[in-house]
């Protein structure tokens, strides 16, 4: 049963990513990415990181992708007509690199598995542990991330404010 859902989520993840890679319009690509993100959240649930899975759905699927679609709708969807050979080339490259991943990934995990497991308690599945770790061990990165978000917010406002509108109004007067 776990295998069954695992393969479904993997198919969603990689299928959605392929749609992003190959699709012609932006909206199709955004929907492919939605599928991919939901697959990633599903894999996180299988890893028993429930809190991160739902934060992922909330942040990526709920806000970031809606923002993508919103901007696409503002500037208009475009159909880029790439040739069939280019598509075949992309898929071929993808398959070759996938085979490379299939070769290198077991070796990587073999190397990583040499370390010994530190604890037996399940920490990752409890939402409260994230708060505890964020407020103690990771206090400085947490504050820096907050400052970065504030800077990003102010930066977006400055960038998005249209200077030509002010100029136009001045010319009108």
Structure tokens belonging to residue 160 = 């998005």
Closest to 80 (Cα-Cα) out of 27, 24, 19, 26: 24
Interface with other proteins, residue 59, by CB under 8 A: yes
Interface with other proteins, residue 40, by CB under 8 A: yes
Classify burial at 23, counting beta carbons within 10 Å of its beta carbon; exposed 0-12, middle 13-18, buried 19 or more.
middle
- Considering only residues 140 through 159, tell me which ones interact with other proteins, judged by CB under 8 A: 141, 145, 148-149, 152-153, 155-156, 159
From the CB of 154, what's the least distance to other proteins, in Å?
Answer: 10
Rounded Cα gap, residues 109 and 107, in angstroms: 5
**Which residue, 102 or 170, is less far from other proteins as judged by CB?**
102
Question: Number of residues in contact with other proteins, rule: CB under 8 A?
Answer: 102
Interface with other proteins, residue 88, by CB under 8 A: no
Percent of the chain as helix, strand, coil, to the nearest 5: 80, 0, 20
From the CB of 74, what's the least distance to other proteins, in Å?
Answer: 6
Residue 76 three-state SS = coil
- Choosing from 8, 131, 166, 168, the residue that interacts with other proteins (CB under 8 A) is 131
């Amino acid at each position: 049963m776990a295998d069954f859902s695992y393969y479904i989520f993997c198919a969603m993840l990689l299928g959605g990513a392929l749609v992003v890679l190959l699709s012609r319009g932006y909206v199709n690509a955004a929907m492919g990415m939605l599928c991919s993100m939901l697959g990633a959240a599903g894999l996180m649930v299988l890893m028993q990181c429930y809190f991160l899975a739902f934060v992922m759905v909330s942040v990526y699927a709920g806000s970031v992708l809606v923002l993508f679609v919103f901007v696409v709708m503002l500037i208009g969807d475009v159909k880029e007509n790439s040739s069939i050979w280019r598509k075949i080339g992309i898929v071929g490259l993808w398959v070759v690199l996938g085979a490379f991943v299939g070769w290198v990934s077991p070796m990587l995990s073999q190397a990583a598995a040499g370390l010994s497991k530190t604890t037996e308690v399940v920490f990752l599945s409890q939402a409260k542990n994230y708060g505890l770790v964020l407020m103690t061990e990771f206090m400085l990165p947490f504050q820096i991330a907050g400052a970065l978000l504030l800077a990003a917010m102010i930066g977006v406002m400055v960038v998005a404010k249209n200077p030509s509108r002010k100029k136009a109004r001045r010319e009108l007067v």
